[in-house]
A = this chain, B = another copy of it.
């Protein structure tokens, strides 16, 4: 969907002539009362559920939507009952306007000049898309991690347009440690000689070294210590000649020795092939900046006084990135305002990644919540 009218951004800048990529699932009912908006996190997109077919009508491999465990016909967020909308955020690299596109004001690729966007800006862009789709009020907005921040922000910026907010593995803001991890990842990208201050497109290169490091750091924070020990532990990478034996150390500092190293390198390589470096900077900065209490003297309860939606919050015990304690801060702020809030703390071993996985208790909580959402 193309939008010519300018979008005013939190920074004071504005963006005009932008596109938003989106997908929908299910049917909008006659009352337009069954729409659910799904907000994405760092490296996801508008493709939240289902698969793509190739020109022969065959399912394309690995084309499942990123929240296909949760969303679809008969699934916890049931697309036979709800009209589900996935939107790719501005600044992303999966279809909506981003740093790799041409700035209509200059005729040049944005690169590092793409304006800094915030969670609030994304929400406003999503609201403009809903206007265009003729949807006045959402039955629900749902997101995990950074997507959960967007769901929270919806209830503050457009309280009258959201009946329910489902906020999974999220937080009211980033801690110093969260910001620190983002900053190290950004420095790895920005100091890669192939970054060229963010204008690498015109040099025909990609700062892959930095992207790899950023992704490796990210992966460490997505997993729990427990699940890393269970999946990889201190296992040495299998060497063909020594399979089945407890092989000796290779005594190398630059090559792979342990399985965990091999896993991280693989994830880093894969990411550097498809993700945009400027998008990485923009999205981590939006995470850093999100802080609804900031405009209320740091008082989260005051910030949520304006929320009118009903809430479901979900956290995971081993998530050390957005720990249950952060979700409990949100629960407290909502209860301080006598909001209607359900909270589930799921005892799952998978760390932050759990919000993308098919944990039966998690799925049951979300299903049961959506079953009670009246249309």
Contacts from A to B (Cβ < 8 Å):
10-13, 112, 115-116, 173-177, 179-181, 183-184, 186-188, 190-193, 197-198, 209, 212-213, 216-217, 219-220, 223, 225, 228-229, 231-234, 249, 251-254, 257-258, 260-261, 264-265, 268, 278, 281-282, 284-285, 288-289, 291
Contacts and interface: CB of A to CB of B under 8 A. Distances in A.
Given A112-B254, A253-B282, A191 B212 contact: yes
Contacts of A278: 253
Contacts of A193: 193
A225 B322 CA distance: 12
Contact of A281 (B115, B254, B284): B254
26 contacts: A13-B251, A112-B254, A116-B251, A175-B228, A175-B229, A176-B228, A176-B260, A177-B223, A179-B258, A180-B216, A180-B219, A180-B228, A180-B260, A180-B261, A183-B216, A183-B260, A183-B265, A184-B217, A184-B220, A184-B264, A187-B213, A191-B212, A193-B193, A249-B289, A253-B285, A257-B288
B234 A213 contact: no
Which 10 residue pairs spanning A and B have beta carbons closest together? Answer: A253-B281, A11-B251, A176-B228, A116-B251, A176-B232, A191-B209, A184-B216, A183-B261, A176-B260, A177-B225
A174 B234 contact: yes
Contact of A258 (B198, B265, B288): B288
Contacts of A268: 187
Contact of A228 (B13, B177, B223): B177
Contacts of A258: 176, 179, 183, 288
Contacts of A288: 257-258
A281 B252 CA distance: 9
Nearest to A208: B191
Contacts of A213: 184, 187-188, 191, 213
Contacts of A261: 179-180, 183
A263 B30 CA distance: 56
A180 B260 CA distance: 6
